[in-house]
Chain A
């Protein structure tokens, strides 16, 4: 059993759940103390010790039955309560069928499914080695069932029915047989699916890790696959963690200002005027941030990451407001706060539909300066995350200049390389001189540097 748990942990790790050695030791202790007789308890004890993230529960629930399931419901035998004559009739009727169907119906009526080797052979032929995900697993399962002849089963069962009737088997016995075959059919399909899922999970666990953080850091944001994206999310999280502790330290150091005699005297009155606690004037450092995120069609590929970044930044800086635009500016601070990152991002993308050829930064800026200008003052850093592709609308450079004058700093993160600025409908070259700084953010490494600069430069 211990072995199985270790394999299961490997499977979890392969599915992207972080499980440390200490946690696997905990899991072993938990299993030791609670036993494995009650499956529900066994499951919650493993889950409480191994999975520390609610988002990872899904992976756990998916893998658990594959490793600790019974391998699908058992098949029943239809032969047991048949009389010898009936069994003979059954054999004859079966032998009249073609090879493959005979095999399948034999499995289904005798209650002895295919052997492990047979299943593995079929799985190999269905291409299980190339499958990576549960979706692909379902596809392999379908192919295996097809190989076994599930598609024609209905028809063949009808034939068998008629043949047995011809041979003079009693109606009751036939009905019973058919009932068992029907039930076995589902059980077998379930068994096959479990078997395939298990094999895929094991394959995934044994595959060497081929993606490393460092490569990912330099991979362009647009060309990420679903799997990369999951990895990336974790990277972003780590990045944000770093950012957060660095920012927290900076704030702490920033707090120590000049010695404050007045409040020192006041604080030490209770000590009889002996200055034991020293008080310092606090520097009033109130950074504020306005984030403007482009979620138009041209940005869709990277919008999720940009929004994610927006989310984390808003979380980090107390006085931060976030906006998103496609054709018009909308405030998204409320949507972002109070939700977990993934939900918040989905919600924003849902609220602001893409609509092609609708991007209008000029109009959005106009709305911004009418409605939201109060968010910007001399302490505010304005960050624009976008590609500056304005769909040939007026860029409204005048408004941008206003914004720059009013804010402390105007920073632009652009996911396009510099040589593409100004091509097509890009107004980037016009915006460029207005901004205090423009960073090209094409991958995580660049994003990290840009954000770090944003938080350190004051």
Chain B
């Protein structure tokens, strides 16, 4: 699939994803060792984006499973399509009558029906959810399990079987093996500790906020309309904000939103007015916005305010 690490980085780069050497190494290893990747890091540093770029660069389809509290197997794996089963029994009533036409007793009818039961519990009536889709797909896929830390512990335990053997058991059908081993990327925002067992099965990738230069490169790539000087200024402001004690740090995606906003507003430079008007694109809490305003507007007093704010 990939020749070497440089190839990984190049191909991801073609999908407008700037991968560090570390990301390149881990993705390459995921292919050569056939292991899932667990990507951790603050929200909005491009963990989900990596999966998309990965899928595009290899030409594999992307299947996404978004986790949330209360997610269970029937939502993630498969469900029996009751309505379709009902519909079929209604439509096939005549055929059923033929099958059961000459029976005399209820017991005989039941046993004859039991012989045909398999028809109703076949793959025709199985509604595959993301995990099963990924396993039974005819071509290899990239499976993105997003925000695994939001799912319950039981679900995490259930995932272990899928991730280590790439197979699932459906009681009515038996064990389904993966036709092709999917490339799996799990993401986590660190809101809770994941279990050791899950971590053990994955390659670990920690993605942090990028350096100023790297972020500038991303902004240039994704928002080419922004003037270079302005982009530099904008990224510098974002980095300054990340050094402050805020409730929620501005993420890369918010930097990009802001950059687009600056383009849309046709801003020529980041002066106080532009900043005040657009700060809410970057910061999502009123207290944070106020803090940042005091910091930015403070000028000489910046240091004192900075300390006071803590």
Contact = CB atoms under 8 A, between A and B. Distances in A.
Whether chains A and B associate is: yes
A128 to B, nearest CB: 33
Contact of B25 (A29, A44, A244, A270): A44
B196 interface: yes
Nearest to B37: A48
Q: Secondary structure of the A side of the interface?
A: helix
B153 A248 contact: yes
A31 to B, nearest CB: 10
A338 interface: yes
Contacts of B21: 40-41, 44
Interface in A234-292: 237, 241, 244-245, 248, 252, 270-272, 274, 276-277
B196 to A, nearest CB: 7
A20 B154 contact: no
Q: Which of B21, B25, B90, B206 has the most CB of A within 10 A?
A: B25
B203 interface: yes
A387 B193 CA distance: 30
Interface residues of A, number: 38
Contact of A244 (B38, B83, B153, B201): B153
A34 B32 CA distance: 9
Contacts, number: 85
Given A49-B203, A245-B153, A248-B152, A338 B26 contact: no
Contacts of A51: 204
B26 A29 contact: no
B247 A334 contact: yes
Interface stretch (A52-60, A106-114, A220-228, A356-364): A52-60
Interface string B150-173: 001110000000000000000000
A241 B26 contact: no
A379 interface: no
Contacts of B32: 29-30, 33-34
B28 interface: yes
By size class, the interface of chain B is 35 or more
Contacts of B86: 271-272, 274, 276
B248 interface: yes
A53 B193 CA distance: 9
Given A30-B33, A33-B33, 11 more contacts: A26-B33, A33-B32, A34-B28, A34-B32, A44-B21, A48-B22, A57-B206, A271-B82, A315-B192, A338-B247, A340-B190
Interface of B: 5, 21-22, 25-26, 28-29, 32-33, 35, 38, 40, 82-83, 86, 90, 152-154, 190, 192-193, 195-196, 199-206, 247-248, 310
Interface of A: 18, 20, 22-23, 26, 29-30, 33-34, 40-41, 44-45, 47-49, 51-54, 57, 237, 241, 244-245, 248, 252, 270-272, 274, 276-277, 315, 334, 338, 340, 350
19 contacts: A20-B196, A22-B201, A26-B33, A34-B5, A34-B29, A41-B21, A44-B21, A44-B25, A45-B25, A45-B29, A48-B26, A48-B204, A52-B204, A53-B204, A57-B206, A237-B193, A248-B153, A272-B86, A274-B86
